[in-house]
Amino acid sequence: MITWRPAALLAAGAVVVAVLPWPWAGVAVLAAAVATLCVLDAALAAAPGDVVLRREGARQVRLDDTTEVTLVVTNTGVRPLRAQIRDAWVPSAGATPYAQRVDLDPDESARLVTTLYPTRRGDRPAARVTVRSYGPLGFAYRQPSGRRADAMTPGWRLRVLPRFASRRFLAEKMARLRVVDGMVVTRGRGQGTEFDTLREYVIGDDVRSIDWRASARRSDVIVRTWRPERDRRVLCVIDTGRTSAARVATVIGDRTLDEPRLDAAIDAALLLATLANRAGDRVDLLAIDTTVRAAVEGGTGRSLLPRLTNAMAPLQPALVETDFGLVAGEVLRRERKRALVVLFTALEAGALGEGLLPVLTQLTARHKVVLAAVHDPAVAELAGRRGDIEGVYAAAAAHRTLAERDRLRAALGRHQVEVVDAPADVFASRVADAYLAMKAAGRL
Amino acid sequence: MSVRSAIPAAATPTAPQQRARPRDRRWLRLVIPFAVVVALVTGTAIGHAMQEPDVTDPAFLNPASTAAIGGARLAGLLSARGVAVQRVDRSSDALVAAYQGDATLFIPAPGLMHAYYLRMLKLLPASTRVVLVQPSDLTLGQGLIPVRGGRSRWATATVAPGCPLPEAARAGDAGVYHLSYGKVVEETARCYDGALVGTRYAAAEVLLVGANEPFRNDRIAEHGNAALAGGLLAAHRRVVWLDLHRSEPAPRVIDESPDPGQVGAPPSLGTGGSPDPDFPISGTQGGGGAGDRNRGGSAGEPPTPPYWKLLPPWAWAALAMLGLGALAFAVARARRLGPPVSEPLPVAVRAAETVEGRGRLYRRAKARRPALLTLRTSTLNRLRPALDIASDAPREAVVEAVAARTGWPPGHVDTILYGAEPAGDADLVRLAAELDHLLHMSVDIDKGVHP
C-alpha cells in the first residue's frame, strides 16, 4: 500500500505535464514512474514478518490507577526497519499513545511503552499489534493483517482490580475494632466471652471479674480479662445473578458513578474482609449465580486481601436467576462450623421470596446470616414525586416497592436474619458496622 | 487454600480466532439484501417482458394470424361489417393507399415505422383516419405528431369511456388504459382517461389508442373491446392495415427538386405532393431537422465544438494528473493501522427501571384506586407510630387521633384517608397532595421516618 507521498508527487506532476509539448505522453510516463517507485519501495521495505514482538510490564492494576506495559520490538531481518507500530487494546483499557514510530537497524530492539488507564474492572486484553513497515523512500509500506498480524501479536491480559473505594472507612472501623478488642479501653466483661488473660486489679474494674482463686494464690487482687472471640469464620456470598446487574447511583467524593450493584457488593466485601482479617477471623468468599463464579477458601493473614481482590476482579453480572438452592448447598458444604454468612444480594421480593426464603432455614439452622443489599436512592426519590398524574403513579409504584421490601425484611427478620439495606455510598460502612456490632456483642 | 475463579464467557471475548469467525461471514450482510432486491427486480422485469407482446413477432396484429397476439378476429369482424381490409407491408405503400382518401390507416406498430414516414401522415387528406396503436412518447416526438406522452401503467386497465366520441360511447368499458396521453394540440377527442385521444394532424384525423389489447385475438372479446376496435376501424369503407414487423430504412428522398418552391418527397408519393410548405424532410437545404444534427454539420453554419475541445490538451492532462493524485491519496488513506477493537460491553439495567415501568403501567391502566390505596396505606403506616395508634385500630379512632393532632375537621381527614375512589386524574393528584400535607402536619418530618 502507498502513503500520501506518491499522491503528492502525482499532483505536482500536473504542473510538469502542463508545460510539456506532449502532455498525454507525459501523464502516462509520470504515472508509470510513480507506480514503479511505489512497487520498488514496497519491495525494499523491511519484512514485517522479521519483526519479533515481546511484552513485559504490569499484570494487574487497581481501577483508577495508571500503569505501563512495554512492547519490546526486535528487528531480526537484514534491512533496517522504519515502521509505525500500533499496540491496540480494548477501549476500556485506556491505552495511549495510538501509534509509535520506530527506526531499527538489523538486530536492534526498541521498547515501546503503552500507558494504560483502565476505565472498567475485570480483565482487559491486548487486541493486536499492527506493524506498518515503510520503504526507504516512504512511498509505500507493508502491513500484515488478519491472521498473520494476530500470529505475531504477543498476548497480554491486564487484570483491573476493584477500586476498593471503601478504604476511606477503614481507619474509623479499625479504631472501633480496637475498642471492641479491648486494646484501647478496657471495659471488662460484656466485651467478649472468651477468657484472655489475668492481670492485677485496678480501680474501676468490674468486681465481678475478680478471679478469687488466682487472687488467693498471688496474695493480690487479680481480675480476669475477656476478649472477643477470635478465629471465627466469615463467609461473603456475592450474588452475581440478574439483580446484581442493576445500576445504582454511587457518589464517591465529587464523582457520581453509575455502577452495577455487584460493584458495591465487591467494595463492601473487601472492607468486611479486611476488617475481619484484622480482627483475627477467617474469611471465605463465594461468588455464585447458577454456578460458582469464584471461591476463596481459608483466607487468613496478609495474603488474604490480594487473593480476594484477584478473585473478585473479573466478576461480571450474569443475566440469570440466582439459584439459592445451590447457594445454600455450597454454603453448607464449605462451612461445617458455625459461621457468619453475609449474603450480598438485592432486597427484591421476586428473587428472594421465591428463591431464598424456602432454603433459609437450612442456612439459619447452622449459621448466622446477614443479608446485605444496596438500595437505589432513585426509588425513594420516586416515592416523593407529586404534582402531576405521572408523578403520582410513579410514587404509588415506588411506595408499593418499598412496602414489598418492608414485608420481605420482616419475613427475613422472623428467620433471625439481619438485614443491612443502605444506599451505595454508605453501604460498605453499614455492613462493617453490622459486623462490628455482632463482634462486640459476641454473637458471632 | 485454593483460589478458583470461573469467569463468564461473555466477559472474555479476547482470543483472536474467536473474533475472526463472525467477521468471515460479514460480507453476506452486505450482499444478501442487494441480491434479494436484484433478484426481485430482475424477476419482475422478466415476467413483465414476457407478458408484453413482441411487436417484431410476425404474428403481432397480423390480419391473417390466429395466434393470441394476432389480428385475424379483428380482420374477420371488419369483413363482416362490410369493410375491405387491404394488408400492406411497407409504410410507403400504406401511405400511398391511404392518400387516396376515404380509408382508415391502421398502424399496429408505429414504433417500427421510420420517423420520416410518420411525419408524412401530415400529407394525408381529411377523409383518411389514422389509428396508431400504443405509440410511445419517443415515437410521437420523432414523428412530430403534436401529442405528448403521459403516464404509463404496469398492466392494462379497463376504464369507462367518459367522452362523447360515438365509437367509444358505443363500446362502453374497454381495456385500453396502458399508456395515457398528455397535451394534445387541436384535440378532437379524449376518452378512457386519456388512453384514446384524437387530433387533427394537418388535414388527417389521427387517433391514438393507448393499448394493443382491444385489437388482439386473445382480448378482443373482453368488455367492449370488439366494439371499440371495430368502431375505430370501420369508419370508412376501406382499412389499410400496415403489417410491419421490423424497423424500416429511411425513405429515399428526391434531393433535387425540380421546383425550388417545393420540397422533396418519397418517390412513391411523387413530387409536388406536399400541401405543407414546412414539410420538414429535406436533403440538402438546412432547416433544423433531426437528420441535420445527426449528420454533424454538413450545413453551412459552423458546428458547435465538442466539449473536449473547450480546454487545451495540456489542461486536460494536468487535470488527469490531479485526478490520479486524488485517487492515490484516497488509496493511501484507505488502509487503517489495524482494525478497530470492539469493547465487550456489560449489561446496563437501571435499578429503578421496574418501578418506573410499574408506574407507567398504572397510568396506562388508569389504576387510580390501587395507586391511591398504596399511597394511603403507606401514609397510615407512617402515621400510626407517630401518633401511637395500634395497627388494628378502627377507622374512627385513627381519624380522631389525626384530627386531634392536625386540628383538621374529622370529616375531611376521613375523606382523605378513607374516602371514595378518585373520580379523575386531577382528583388523584389532589388527594395525593393532601395526604402529603396531612403527613407533614402530623409527623415532624425531621425525625426521619423510614421512607
Same domain (yes/no): A250, A395: yes
- Range with the largest mean pLDDT of A362-376, B8-22, B147-161: A362-376
- The mean pLDDT of A344-359, rounded to a whole number, is 87
Give the H or E element holding residue B131: strand B128-133
Assess if residue B324 is contained within a domain. Answer: no
Count residue pairs from A and B with Cβ separation < 8 A. Answer: 253
Q: With 70 as the cut, is the pLDDT of residue A50 above it?
A: yes
pLDDT at B249 over 80: no
Least CB-CB distance to A7: which of B14, B325, B378?
B325
In a domain, B58, yes or no: no
pLDDT band of residue B9 (cuts 50, 70, 90) is very low
Give the three-class secondary structure for B386. helix
Q: In this structure, is residue B328 part of a structural domain?
A: no
* Range from A120-129, A375-384, B209-218 that averages highest in pLDDT: A120-129
Q: Is the pLDDT of residue B10 over 50?
A: no
Q: How far is A155 from chain B (nearest CA, A)?
A: 9
| In a shared domain, residues A128 and A22 | no
Q: Which three cell numbers stand for residue B384?
A: 400510626
A332/A422 same-domain check:
yes
| Residue where a domain terminates, one of B214, B242, B270 | B242
**CATH code, domain with A124:** 2.60.40.10
Return the HEC string of chain A: CECHHHHHHHHHHHHHHHHCCCHHHHHHHHHHHHHHHHHHHHHHCCCHHHEEEEEEECCEEECCCCEEEEEEEEECCCCCEEEEEEEEECHHHCEECCCEEEEECCCCEEEEEEEECCCCCEEEEEEEEEEEEECCCCCEEECCCHHHHHHHCCCCEEEEECCCHHHHHHHHHHHHHHHHHCCCCCCCCCCCCEEEEEEECCCCCCHHHECHHHHHHHCCCEEEEEECCCCCEEEEEEECCHHHHEEEEEEECCEEEEEEHHHHHHHHHHHHHHHHHHCCCEEEEEEECCCEEEEEEEECCCCHHHHHHHHHCCCCCCCCCCCHHHHHHHHHHHCCCCCEEEEEECCCHHHHHHHCHHHHHHHHHHCEEEEEEEECHHHHHHHCCCCCHHHHHHHHHHHHHHHHHHHHHHHHHHCCCEEEEEEHHHHHHHHHHHHHHHHHHCCC
From residue B64, how far is each of B69, B72, B431 by CA, in Å?
11, 5, 92
Residue B348: list chain A partners with CB under 8 A: 247
Position with higher pLDDT, B168 vs B259: B168
User: To the nearest whole angstrom, how far is the Cα of B21 from the nearest Cα of chain A?
Assistant: 11
Answer whether residue B432 is part of any domain.
Answer: yes
**Of A93, A158, A88, whose CA–CA distance to B339 is shortest?**
A88
**A295 closest CB neighbour out of B4, B321, B333:** B4
* Better-predicted residue by pLDDT, B284 or A252: A252
CB atoms within 10 A of CB B155: 12
Last residue of a domain, one of B242, B276, B303: B242
Highest mean pLDDT among A179-188, A224-233, A252-261, A424-433: A424-433
Q: Who's near B237: CB < 8 A, 6+ residues apart? A: B82, B83, B84, B102, B103
- Contact state of B20 with A146 under an 8 Å Cβ cutoff: yes
By C-alpha distance, which of B214, B167, B163 is closest to B184?
Answer: B163
A68, β-bridge pairs:
A115
Beta strand segments in B232-348, E: 238-242
User: Does A81 reside within a domain?
Assistant: yes
Residue B259 is given by DSSP the state S
Task: Kindly tell me the burial class for residue A213, based on how many C-beta atoms sit within 10 Å of its own C-beta (0-12, 13-18, 19 or more).
Answer: exposed
Number of domains in chain B: 2
Tens of pLDDT, residues A95-116: 989 999 999 999 999 999 999 9
**One domain for residues A375 and A403:** yes
Same domain, A138 and A247: no
Same domain, A410 and A318: yes
Which whole-number Å values give the CA distances from B27 to A119, A145, A150, in the listed order? 33, 17, 21
Structural domain includes residue A193: no
In this predicted structure, the answer to whether residue B149 has a pLDDT above a threshold of 60 is yes
The per-residue pLDDT for A138 is: 92
Helix A261-278 with A170-181: angle, nearest 10 deg: 40
As a whole number of angstroms, the distance between CA A422 and CA A409 comes to: 13
In a domain? residue A183: no
Amino acid at A278: R
Residue B233 and residue B87 share a domain: yes
- The residues facing B152 across adjacent strands are B179
The answer as to whether B426 is a domain residue is yes
**CA-CA-CA-CA torsion sign (B294, B298, B300, B305):** positive
Question: Does residue A370 surpass a pLDDT of 90?
Answer: yes
- For the segment B60-74, what is each residue's pLDDT rounded down to a tens digit? 888 888 888 888 888
What are the phi and psi torsion angles at B202 (to 5°)? 55, -115
Q: Say what the pLDDT of residue A228 is.
A: 64
What per-residue confidence (pLDDT) applies to A325? 92
Q: Is the per-residue pLDDT at A317 higher than 50?
A: yes
Distance of CA A332 to the CA centre of its chain: 27
- For residues A395-411, give the mean pLDDT: 91
Q: A203 lies in a domain?
A: no
pLDDT single digits (tens) B364-414 = 998 888 899 999 999 888 888 888 888 888 888 888 888 888 888 888 888
CA dist A131 and B338 (Å) reads 8
CB-CB neighbors (< 8 A) of B355 in chain A: 378-379, 382, 394, 397-398, 401
The Cα-based distances of A57 to A61, A117, A268, B148, B332 in angstroms read 11, 14, 30, 81, 34
**Residue B312 C-alpha, separation from nearest chain A C-alpha, in angstroms:** 10
Q: Summarize the confidence of residues B174-192 as an average pLDDT.
A: 83
Does residue B445 register a pLDDT over 70?
no
Q: Kindly report whether the peptide bond that precedes residue B108 is cis, defined as omega within 30 degrees of 0.
A: no
Asked if B359 lies within 8 A of A390 by C-beta distance, the reply is: yes
Phi-psi region of A406 (alpha: psi -120 to 50; beta: other; left: phi over 0): alpha
The DSSP output letter for B218 is T
Residue ending a domain, choose from B201, B217, B242: B242
One domain, residues B79 and B220: yes
Mean pLDDT of B39-62: 86
Average pLDDT, chain A: 88
A135 and A23, same domain (yes or no): no
Task: Give the residue numbers spanning the domain of B433.
Answer: 367-443
Same domain, A356 and A383: yes
C-alpha cell of residue B41 = 427486480
pLDDT digits (tens, 9 = 90+) for B73-99: 888 888 888 888 888 888 888 888 888
Structure confidence at residue A252 as a pLDDT band (50, 70, 90): low
Q: Residue A191 domain-assigned? A: no
Q: Is the pLDDT of residue A184 over 50?
A: no
What's the pLDDT at A215?
A: 87
C-alpha cell, A317: 453480572
Q: B197 with B184: CB under 8 angstroms?
A: yes
In which domain, by residue range, is A393 found? Answer: 233-441
Number of residues that make up chain A:
444
Q: Which residue has the cell 511503552?
A: A113
Structural contact between residues A333 and A362, judged by C-beta atoms closer than 8 angstroms: no
- Kindly tell me if the per-residue pLDDT of B214 is higher than 70: yes
User: What span, in angstroms and rounded, lies between the C-alpha atoms of A431 and A172?
Assistant: 14
Asked whether residue A431 falls in the same domain as residue A380, the answer is yes
For B440, the enclosing helix (H) or strand (E) is helix B425-442
| Cα–Cα distance measured from residue A281 to residue A304, given in angstroms and rounded to the nearest whole number | 11
Nearest CA in chain A to B349: A246
The predicted-structure confidence for B260-313, as pLDDT tens digits, reads as follows 444 444 444 544 444 444 444 444 333 333 333 344 434 445 556 677 778 888
Contacts of A310 in chain B (CB under 8 A): 3, 5
User: What percentage of residues in chain A have a pLDDT greater than 70?
Assistant: 95
ipTM (interface pTM): 0.74
pLDDT of residue B199: 85
Residue A187 forms part of a structural domain: no
Residue B297 falls in which region: left (phi positive, over 0), alpha (psi -120 to 50) or beta = left
Q: Report the alpha-carbon distance of residue A400 to residue A377 in Å, rounded.
A: 15
> Terminus-to-terminus CA distance in chain A, angstroms?
71
Tell if the CB–CB gap between A397 and B8 is shorter than 8 Å.
no
CATH label of the domain that carries residue A330: 3.40.50.410
Distance from CA of B441 to the nearest CA of A (A): 16
Pair (A83, A132) in one structural domain: yes
- pLDDT tens, A320-341? 999 999 999 999 998 888 899 9
The CB density around residue A304, as the number of other CB atoms within 10 Å, is 20
Average pLDDT over residues B116-121: 81
On whether any CB of chain A is under 8 Å from the CB of B382, the answer is no
Helix axes B425-442, B395-406, angle to 10 degrees: 70
Q: Are residues A280 and A380 in the same domain?
A: yes
Give B187→chain A minimum CA distance, Å. 58
**Would you call A393 and B313 a contact, using CB atoms and an 8 Å cutoff?**
no
Q: How confident is the model at residue A131 (pLDDT cuts 50, 70, 90)?
A: very high
Task: Indicate whether B83 and B227 sit together in one domain.
Answer: yes
Report yes or no on B98 lying in a domain. yes
Q: What does the mean pLDDT of chain B come to? A: 77
Query: Per the domain annotation, does B28 fall within a domain?
Result: no
**Does A179 map to a domain?**
no
Sign of the torsion angle spanned by Cα atoms B209, B211, B212, B216: negative
Cα–Cα distance measured from residue B362 to residue A111, given in angstroms and rounded to the nearest whole number? 63
Provide the domain count of chain A: 3
Question: Are residues A394 and A283 both part of a single domain?
Answer: yes
Q: Is the dihedral of CA B348, B353, B354, B358 positive or negative?
A: negative
- pLDDT band, very low/low/confident/very high, at A201 (cuts 50, 70, 90): confident
CATH number of the domain to which B219 belongs: 3.40.50
